[in-house]
Amino acid sequence: MRYRFSFDGYSPEEEAFYGTILTLGNGYLGIRGEVELEPSLYGTTIAGVYDYAPYFYREIVNAPRAVGLRLFLNGEPLSLSTQRIRRYERELDIGEAVLRTEVEVELQQGGTLGYESVRIVHGSRKEVVILKFRVKPGRSGTLTIISPINTDTVNPLYREEITAKHYRVKRHSSHDDAIYTEVETTDGRYRIGIASSLAVSCRHSRFIVKNTDGIAEVFQLDVEEGKEYEFIRYAVISYTSGKDDIEQPVLKKLRDAKNAGFDVLYREHREYWQELWSAAEVRILGDEEAEKGLLFSLFHLMQCMPVDSRISLTARGIHGFGYRGHVFWDTEIYALPFFMAVFPEKAREMLVYRYNNLDAARENARANGYRGAQFPWESADDGYEATPPAIPTDMTGKNAIRIYTGEEEHHITADIAYAVELYYRFTGDNDFMEKYGLEIIFETARFWASRVRYDKDKGYVIEKVIGPDEYHEHVNNSFFTNMMARYNLLLAARYLELSKENEAWSRVAEAAGVTEEEAESWRKIAEKIYIPRQMDGIWEEFDGYFELLDYTVDPYGLGEERLPAEIREHLSRTKLVKQADVIALQYLLKEQFDTENIRKNFDYYLPRTTHASSLSMPTYAIIASWLGYDDIAYNYFMKCAYIDLHNLYGNTKDGFHLATAGGLWQILFRGFCGVDISGDILEIRPNLPQGWEEVALRFRFRGSRIHLRIRKDRVAVKITGGKKLKIRVFNEETNLEPEKEVILEV
Amino acid sequence: MRYRFSFDGYSPEEEAFYGTILTLGNGYLGIRGEVELEPSLYGTTIAGVYDYAPYFYREIVNAPRAVGLRLFLNGEPLSLSTQRIRRYERELDIGEAVLRTEVEVELQQGGTLGYESVRIVHGSRKEVVILKFRVKPGRSGTLTIISPINTDTVNPLYREEITAKHYRVKRHSSHDDAIYTEVETTDGRYRIGIASSLAVSCRHSRFIVKNTDGIAEVFQLDVEEGKEYEFIRYAVISYTSGKDDIEQPVLKKLRDAKNAGFDVLYREHREYWQELWSAAEVRILGDEEAEKGLLFSLFHLMQCMPVDSRISLTARGIHGFGYRGHVFWDTEIYALPFFMAVFPEKAREMLVYRYNNLDAARENARANGYRGAQFPWESADDGYEATPPAIPTDMTGKNAIRIYTGEEEHHITADIAYAVELYYRFTGDNDFMEKYGLEIIFETARFWASRVRYDKDKGYVIEKVIGPDEYHEHVNNSFFTNMMARYNLLLAARYLELSKENEAWSRVAEAAGVTEEEAESWRKIAEKIYIPRQMDGIWEEFDGYFELLDYTVDPYGLGEERLPAEIREHLSRTKLVKQADVIALQYLLKEQFDTENIRKNFDYYLPRTTHASSLSMPTYAIIASWLGYDDIAYNYFMKCAYIDLHNLYGNTKDGFHLATAGGLWQILFRGFCGVDISGDILEIRPNLPQGWEEVALRFRFRGSRIHLRIRKDRVAVKITGGKKLKIRVFNEETNLEPEKEVILEV
């Protein structure tokens, strides 16, 4: 692969930032990028392993750390905050998913100590972590290496000083060739087994040490000035939610990895990533900077690709504890389209996760007085509402910000139904629709049918909600929410209609107890659902929005800090919008609006949007590209591409912004390349930014593998696998035959 | 001194227990007894250093640890949980306040490693901690010693997994002869400076290491099998609430200590403790076991003796985080009498602490709708109510036990007034009374005058309180509370009367705005205050108590675990009492009851008391000894004497039970020795337990130092300092001349 990202200079204050952007993961494990030579409270995140937590219901567990190392030369500890650093460089190779570290320090005893490492979180052996390192002593003597499994990792809660440790150590054991630790989450649901082994090829002494901080292998060896000494640390991290013994299987996997050896493991790992990158191939000729940021984002997105449906993609990935490892609408609306088009099996897992939690969503609806299934705003491993009702703002915890999203941000339920439909239309995955999708669509429609209230003047209204724009709480008739609810209701009614001609589907409908009368009521509600007024073609974001204090901001700015205090402290009284809301709806349901209406709304809402949410810019960028607002579109694309590399929101330390990464890909795919489904036909209407020569990318559509090369006025399409396909390019339909590239010009 | 306490066998599970009972302290610093060779989350408590905390308002800060050590021989870490232990012995010498540790382990490399240490928290140099240790390598090679200041200490919150770190590291600095760390509490109120230096006499290399866990000195030296190597670690721990630089003063104190050297420091320390023990001398001839437990308790009590009035004695001392370092009525009612009689200047500091917080108590009264001063049930460094309104019972914090004591346990305010009067009567400290005592008495009486409500049938009632028996919340007319309130009101009225003949006092009364009319209203309320009914001479604990379900328990049992579930879960519906309540009142105001009435109430309440509070047995024991119930009195005395050594309440790990220690001394002094003040006269009526030959003890009374030797039928009294004194022994008055022992027989 083309891109390597290098960073130099060690600073303890910046470690948390690098911790996120140098995270390695494989969808199962996440190991943050903090340098292994210093202590860290960050350990391992394991997708799907959660525990009860104060304030946050359940959160992803910070499991023990199995990559830390302590080195001593002649008793002097290698210490980056203490010794003078001659060289400190870290390089993330996103092609091979490898993190390299090079360090050279000046010892207090005189002379230098060099260290180089290669860190891998194995792609296909999901539980395997490898750290190969080389020590170069600048003077002769005794080298001591401590290679621990640290059990002192904790989750920070509402502030760094307050932490929760989510596991208890059940057992440490030592073996001739390994150490092993087993911990159990405080709720008893998960046991995690971790084995580690340091392979040392030269003569050495080996000791074991166990204490309240963990267990470690300790090695001591005589070293000579100027020589290099190589070590390979293998670790296996596994978990179970059952009663099964995991020590033996974990040790076996460790020995298997060790027997395979570094070179074989590295080859497997490279092959895994070559496959991913070849499926996700994307090139931007003429703008290396844009391509670099895009690939960096896709790399981190792919690192989070779920291994199964026990958990879906989370807001900040396996990279950190931001949003506590919860799943939001970010997943379905922002991240899923990339997977749907590139790794459709993974998009399916993500939706099956929602299906698996349908019972919890039903309970949630019942508890709130509704019918059907109401998905939680924030979802953890068990599918119950995990949004904190309040987050403390001081040490005593007495002062807190009340959080209403869990109680009011109901559009998530329609967003999931929307994603089901989008996935199905894009992939044609009938098996999915029959087994999972239909039931989700029916049950979510039922929720909306019970959520509306009939008002004799307005029709069906939806009161007391929060739309995507979270500055305005307890609003009535959010444009976004009501439109999505209507969409959801009609979708369900349409699928009941289609079921009449599909035996499998009709069985699903029958099992779900959906009748023609119910579908009729859905259509009736949809027809009479109240949509907020328009003024001059501008949709009112919710009832009363137009009466609020007007205030506009520079569309190239970002966040709330630029606002004067009197505005910032009273955002809910202003027309300012946190993120794309009306515009997000116009993106999702674009077929319901004409371009002029979209333009009017875009022109109106853009200067009123602060983009304080990282979900905002992608939507605006896509629509900007459709409208020919090239500067805005490109500017937002680049900001999204560098959101974490440049720490644009100041919170990169809490994890990677996955929704933005997914949104970035959508800017490219839906915006710049102009890919869409119109009816049953794939449509391409390029809107490439200035200076972009060509975008080349691969994706899959209804079983066909498609390779696109797009220029401003020329599109080359080729089916590299699959069957023939009709597509529309530059408004003209064309038939594609497999393996034959067709070139179309404007 | 006579007693040394030895413990052998290392077990990680028992470390928290030993942490408490092997704590060393000097009233300013507390260093728990966890062995220095293993990591520990326990650091240092500094009397008076608090910080805001979730749930608990403010809690005592777990400051960095400056006694930890890590040793490596030829790269092999000394690890008590890993190596086979040949010898592990810890000895607390309570005479010299020294903790000795001896360890010998079998190394994994073959051979042994021996370690011996002496730990001192210096008596007179309050900020100095010394650890002298000797290493005995069983084989030759390289010894590495890491001597860190650990900044990874945290306070456990409502459960061990959830912790708060109360400080941020401001600075680490290293010097040729020392390392230094400065931290600041999260509220910015306190800065703590810690310097440490390891003195090594033989040839060695020295390195510094700094990281997120702290800063350390690291030493490496060549050692020979069979030889002994001695090291002395000096540390200074100091704090400020001001803006002053503390690094230089702290380093200077460290260098002063180092220059003085171990032998001088040890001599000073021994002299300090010789003085304490000679002031607090107490011997029990004929019952070594009893004496041993008593001295152990007094040792820990004296270790907590406040250095000034910034903080008073806390419920669990400087020994742990139980009750978050808060001050309760435990201090005034249970612990203060010992200090009043033995270290009256310290009892004065404890009461001045209450005076210093009179403004906070006034605010507290105002906030609750009352006048005067209402002391908080739990008090931290700032005197505001620090009782948690609820304590969570699970990880999510959603389920919690509601705690009403902060809102309802109002008797504390009268308890403090009572202690002021007791202190004054015992010491005759006019200066205290004028500067502090009177104002407390007036302001607390004012509180009660506003706290009562007039009921036309009953008179003045006090509703919705909790008495000492916390099983019964929201009760009306608690016998204890109403009686103490009456006492408080009459006390204030009497002092206004006395002020008429005392110019200084009358100025105080005038400044406080106390008028004759106000005093008259106090007398009127006191006269008409409602006291719950008696039945057959039994005082009803509160209105309606007699209607509750009757249930009795074995008076020799302890706590609630022995109760059947249906009783344990509904304690408030039963007559069961958590701790002495009516009986506690009869102890405090004994002059208001005749012996027959006390006996009736004792006989009734004892079998209904679970002693689930550690405050219960002392009161019962004192009264039992008065009533001639020798078995009960002795049994409770022994239980109190071994409450922590035997971990009777199962929570010794959270700190020492100081109220019990103070109560134990009161059993001896007030119960077995029968010391009392009757009018202005010191009275002695011995009730020695079976088999006790003689009790010898020293105390101070109104400026005189008194030495007592008490036998069943013979009392020897001598004034060893001070003026002549009239006393009453065996109901006969006698005049004492200084330095002349008088022997009185029954």
Q: Is B404 on the interface with A (CB under 8 A)?
A: no
Q: pLDDT tier at B449 (50, 70, 90 boundaries)? A: very high
In chain A, % helix, strand, coil (3-state, to 5) comes to 35, 30, 35
Please write the tens of the pLDDT for every residue from A603-649: 999 999 999 999 999 999 999 999 999 999 999 999 999 999 999 99
Does pLDDT of A365 surpass 60?
yes
Report the mean per-residue pLDDT for chain A: 97
% of residues, chain B, pLDDT over 70: 100
End-to-end CA distance of chain B: 33
Size of interface A-B (CB pairs under 8 A): 149
Contact present, B64 and B194 (Cβ < 8 Å): yes
Please write the tens of the pLDDT for every residue from A646-672: 999 999 999 999 999 999 999 999 999
| pLDDT of res. A398 | 86
**CB contacts, 8 Å: A53 with chain B:** 395-396
Nearest residue on chain A to B392, judged by CA atoms? A54
SS3 B49: coil
**CB contacts, 8 Å: B211 with chain A:** 12, 38-39, 79-82
Q: How far apart are CA A364 and CA B266, in angstroms?
A: 67
The interface residues of chain A toward chain B in range 282-341, judged by CB-CB distance below 8 A, are none
Please write the tens of the pLDDT for every residue from A261-312: 999 999 999 999 999 999 999 999 999 999 999 999 999 999 999 999 999 9
| pLDDT of res. B490 | 98
| pLDDT of res. B680 | 85
Please write the tens of the pLDDT for every residue from A471-525: 999 999 999 999 999 999 999 999 999 999 999 999 999 999 999 999 999 999 9
| pLDDT of res. B722 | 84
Please write the tens of the pLDDT for every residue from B692-721: 999 999 999 999 999 999 999 999 999 998
| pLDDT of res. A207 | 97
Does pLDDT of A591 surpass 70?
yes
End-to-end CA distance of chain A: 33
The whole-number average pLDDT for the span A329-334 is: 98
DSSP result, A336-381: HHHHHHH-HHHHHHHHHHHHHTHHHHHHHHHHTT--S----SSB-S
Contact A77 B52 (CB under 8 A): no
The interface residues of chain B toward chain A in range 117-146, judged by CB-CB distance below 8 A, are 142, 144, 146
Q: Which among B165, B208, B211 is the nearest to A108, CB-wise? A: B208
Contact present, B686 and B712 (Cβ < 8 Å): yes
Give the HSE-up count for residue B154: Cα atoms under 13 Å, Cβ half-sphere: 21
Does pLDDT of B397 surpass 90?
no
Does pLDDT of A469 surpass 60?
yes
Min Cα distance A382 → chain B (Å) is: 15
Please write the tens of the pLDDT for every residue from B572-582: 999 999 999 99
**CB contacts, 8 Å: B396 with chain A:** 52-54, 57
Contact B74 A219 (CB under 8 A): no
| pLDDT of res. B230 | 98
Q: How far apart are CA B340 and CA B343, in angstroms?
A: 6
Q: Is A209 on the interface with B (CB under 8 A)?
A: yes
**CB contacts, 8 Å: B220 with chain A:** 74-76
Q: How far apart are CA A565 and CA A650, in angstroms?
A: 20
Judge whether B470 counts as a catalytic residue: yes
> Shortest CA distance to A641 belongs to which of A280, A281, A294?
A294
Report the mean per-residue pLDDT for chain B: 97
The enclosing H or E element of B656 equals: none
Helix B503-511 / helix B438-451 crossing angle, nearest 10 deg:
40
Q: Is B18 on the interface with A (CB under 8 A)?
A: no
Q: How far apart are CA A39 and CA A42, in angstroms?
A: 9
What number is the ipTM of this complex? 0.92
| pLDDT of res. B185 | 98
Min Cα distance A189 → chain B (Å) is: 13
- For A699-732, give the secondary structure using H, E and C: EEECCEEEEEEEECCEEEEEEEECCCEEEEECCE
Question: Annotated catalytic residue: which of A96, A332, A470, A518?
Answer: A470
Please write the tens of the pLDDT for every residue from B34-75: 999 999 989 999 999 999 999 889 999 999 999 999 999 999
| pLDDT of res. B133 | 98
pTM: 0.95
